[in-house]
Amino acid sequence: MKIALIAHDGKKAEMVTFMRDHINSFHRDEVELVATGTTGNHVENAGLKVTKMLSGPLGGDAQIAAMVAEKKVNAVFFFRDPLDKHPHEPDILMLMRICDVHNVPLATNPATAKLIFDTMLGGI
Ligand SMILES: O=C(CO)COP(=O)(O)O
């Protein structure tokens, strides 16, 4: 099961908390992680193995969208900051659209991510 992790700067602390709260589940062999660049650095610092793509504003969101379109990702945890502006807003919208096009679970906050994660892990 491959999960993509992305967090805007204002949400990176919440992402790290989410990872730490579920660290044993994320360490399972069945779980593979991919992340945008800076989010990936935080995930690594939390003690997890992760494949890092480019930083979001440099194309990382687009790279993950391509993986979603190619059915290489099972779920996307994208903790967006709704209170901030982002220069790469088109890429953000594109990633969310591609998740909907391909019916891939997309969590934009930790509460939804927990529901998806628990459900997916319950199935393996
Ligand atoms: O900008 C992002 C998502 O839109 C996240 O990118 P970083 O993980 O590189 O900060």
36 labeled binding residue:
yes
Tell me what pLDDT residue 122 has: 81
- Please indicate if the annotation marks 49 as binding a ligand: no
Q: Measuring CA to CA, which residue among 37, 1, 7, 3 is closest to residue 110?
A: 7
pTM: 0.96
CATH number reported for the structural domain that contains residue 97 in this entry: 3.40.50.1380
What's the pLDDT score for residue 121? 85
**What confidence score (pLDDT) does residue 124 get?**
62
* Strand residues in 1-124 grouped as ranges (E): 2-7, 32-35, 51-52, 75-79, 106-107
Residues acting as catalytic residues: 61
pLDDT of residue 109: 97
**Pick from 45, 102, 42: nearest CA to 75:** 102
Instruction: For the sheet with 32-35, list strands across it.
Output: 51-52, 32-35, 2-7, 75-79, 106-107
Does the beta carbon of 59 lie inside 6 Å of ligand 1? Answer: no
Structural domain count of the chain: 1
Mean pLDDT by 10 residues, the chain (124 residues): 97 96 91 98 96 98 98 98 96 98 98 94 72
Q: Which residue range(s) make up the domain with 16?
A: 2-122
| Closest CA to ligand 1's atom 10 | 38
The answer to whether the complex's ipTM is over 0.90 is yes
The pLDDT score that the predictor gives to residue 123 is 61
